[in-house]
Amino acid sequence: MKNDTREALLRPLFAQALSGDKRAYEKLLNEIAGFARNYVRRRLASPTDHDDVVQEILLSVHKALHTYDPARPCLPWLAAIMHYRLSDWLRKHYSIRAVRTLSADHAGDVFDQIASDEVTADPFAYESLEKAVETLPRGQQAVIQAMYREELTVRETSEKLGMSISAVKVTAHRAYRKLRMRLEGE
Amino acid sequence: MNTQTLAAQLASRHQPVKPISFGRICLEWASVTAISFAALVFYYGGFRADLSARLLEPFFTAEIALNFLLVVVAGLSATACAYPDRARTRMHQILLWIVFTGYSAIFLMAAFHRPDLAGPASGHEPHGLECLQCLLAFAIIPACWMSWRLRQLACVKPMQMGFTAILMAMATGGLGVRLLESGHLQDGLMLTHYLPILLLSGAGLLLGGKFFRW
């Protein structure tokens, strides 16, 4: 879809959404989600993270709607939010790696392996990891359980456990660090 | 949760939204800055006694005018950073650097080539920590207001916003000090007026990256 067409489609929806029309707002968010998905797909290699970033973008649009001026084009406003949210996501992603802790991707791979049928191929690693997980505080165990056994996204985990998204990320990050220290110590 | 469910949930909670205009925010910080400035001028006992005579000197007038412009342009730039579509325009950034460069150039010219234009060297108190306190007193209310108000918007350039918001507040402080204190240009002025403006604006750049993220 060309930008002019997209602008013509989204701008009336923005105006209706500002006036409180819930149906128009839902339609607007779904249109933005499609647009954002294409944007993220072109810039982010890992497909498993696409939905998280798109949902972050939708939440940001929801929070920032009062800064949109209906007299101005909506696409520059939307593009700036998408760019900011993606950059923010990448910054967090790489800052976690930069402190040389076990990255979410790495931990995800380890836990994905556990969740798959291949765990029997390396029973020692499985048992070690199981034991290490059992030594974690209950909150951290619950997050690990939800994210890597039940394969829930960060957002779903936050809803299931009644925690904020950032609290889930922090808890998971601390759990990875502890697991790494314990497994390296063995 | 999938994205469609999230959209439906957000829409179900949706209420009419009244946009906060760019002009309104600018008017707010301009009013707060002007009121706090006037109150502090009154508190410190009015403008410097030789102000009318000094305003006849081109370098001094140019310095004050550019200082005032720096307040306005830095404030506009900080506010623009809080509006996603306006943050991407380069005009306010270019304008800010033109004014900042002009202000620095005028100050340096007055300091090094025509120090007499910046005031007689005798009969005035030297600049010291009192100037710094005065500068911070003028800057604190605009800085707090900008930080509080702009955080409620949607900053997409947090570091730039931190820098420009603090620069605006510190430039207000600098303007206040220059209009109140009658000391001449010397090293003390550099140390107690302009160095803090630059250092604290630099700190704003670093802190803005943390404080204005959302």
Q: Is the pLDDT of residue A100 over 50?
A: no
The answer to whether A3-98 and A104-185 have equal CATH topology is no
Buried b (16+ CB within 10 A) or exposed e, A52-86: bbbbbbbbbbbebbebbbeeeebbbbbbbbbbbbb
Residue-range domain boundaries for chain A: 3-98, 104-185
Q: Taking all residues of chain B, what is their mean pLDDT, rounded to a whole number?
A: 85
CA nearest to B105, candidates B70, B129, B135? B70
What is residue A120's predicted lDDT score, i.e. its pLDDT? 45
Select the more confidently predicted residue: B152 or A178.
Answer: B152
Q: At a CB cut-off of 8 Å and minimum separation 6, what does B171 contact?
A: B67, B70, B71, B74, B197
CB-based contact A26 B15, cutoff 8 Å: no
Facing B6 at nearest CB: one of A58, A66, A77 = A58
State how far the Cα of B33 lies from the Cα of B80, in Å rounded to an integer. 18
Select the more confidently predicted residue: A19 or A175.
Answer: A19
| Structure confidence at residue A92 as a pLDDT band (50, 70, 90) | confident
Give mean pLDDT, residues B55-68.
Answer: 88
Give mean pLDDT, residues B59-63.
Answer: 86
Q: Is the pLDDT of residue A125 over 70?
A: no
Greatest mean pLDDT among B165-169, B192-196, B199-203 lies in: B165-169
In degrees and rounded to multiples of 5, residue A150 shows phi and psi of -90, -5
Q: Is the pLDDT of residue A130 over 90?
A: no
Greatest mean pLDDT among B102-116, B122-136, B182-196 lies in: B102-116
| Structure confidence at residue B116 as a pLDDT band (50, 70, 90) | very low
Q: Which of A50-59, A78-87, B53-62, B124-133 is predicted with the least confidence, judged by mean pLDDT?
A: B124-133
Select the more confidently predicted residue: A184 or B58.
Answer: B58
Contacts of B3 in chain A (CB under 8 A): 30, 33, 37, 51, 54-55, 58
Burial of B211: CB neighbours in 10 Å, binned 0-12, 13-18, 19+: middle
Our measurement of the distance from residue A54's CA atom to the centroid of its chain's CA atoms, rounded to an integer in Å, reads 8
CATH of segment(s) A104-185? 1.10.10.10
Q: ipTM beyond 0.85?
A: no
Architecture of the CATH domain A3-98:
Orthogonal Bundle (1.10)
Alpha carbon of B5: minimum distance to chain A alpha carbons (Å):
10
CB-based contact B88 A80, cutoff 8 Å: yes
CB A171 within 8 A of CB A139: yes
Which whole-number Å values give the CA distances from B200 to B143, B169, B196, in the listed order?
11, 10, 6
What is residue B137's predicted lDDT score, i.e. its pLDDT? 92
pTM of the model: 0.73
Q: Is the pLDDT of residue A141 over 90?
A: no
What is residue B60's predicted lDDT score, i.e. its pLDDT? 84
Give mean pLDDT, residues A73-87.
Answer: 93
CB-based contact A69 B88, cutoff 8 Å: no
Cβ-Cβ contacts under 8 Å between A and B: the total is 103
What is residue A146's predicted lDDT score, i.e. its pLDDT? 85
pLDDT per residue as tens digits for the range B75-114? 999 999 999 999 988 888 899 999 989 988 887 777 776 5
Mutate to test the interface with A, among B79, B85, B155 (most CBs of A within 10 A): B85
State how far the Cα of A32 lies from the Cα of A57, in Å rounded to an integer. 9
Which whole-number Å values give the CA distances from A95 to A86, A92, A109, B156, in the listed order?
14, 5, 19, 19
Greatest mean pLDDT among A6-15, B35-44, B171-180 lies in: B35-44
Give mean pLDDT, residues B133-140.
Answer: 90
Select the more confidently predicted residue: B63 or B143.
Answer: B143
What is residue A98's predicted lDDT score, i.e. its pLDDT? 59
Alpha carbon of A122: minimum distance to chain B alpha carbons (Å):
32
Q: Is A55 an 8 Å CB contact of chain B?
A: yes
Residue-range domain boundaries for chain B: 22-211
Q: Is the pLDDT of residue A123 over 70?
A: no
Select the more confidently predicted residue: B32 or A134.
Answer: B32
CB-based contact A69 B83, cutoff 8 Å: yes
Q: Is B4 an 8 Å CB contact of chain A?
A: yes
Greatest mean pLDDT among A109-113, B79-83, B125-129 lies in: B79-83
Q: Is the pLDDT of residue A106 over 60?
A: no
Q: Is the pLDDT of residue B25 over 50?
A: yes
Mutate to test the interface with B, among A27, A39, A67 (most CBs of B within 10 A): A67
Q: Is A159 an 8 Å CB contact of chain B?
A: yes
Which parts of A44-153 fold into alpha helices (H)?
50-64, 75-98, 104-115, 123-134, 138-144
Facing B20 at nearest CB: one of A25, A37, A66 = A66
CB-based contact B19 A68, cutoff 8 Å: yes
Q: Is the pLDDT of residue B130 over 90?
A: no
Select the more confidently predicted residue: A20 or B39.
Answer: B39
Q: Is the pLDDT of residue B40 over 60?
A: yes
| Structure confidence at residue B154 as a pLDDT band (50, 70, 90) | very high
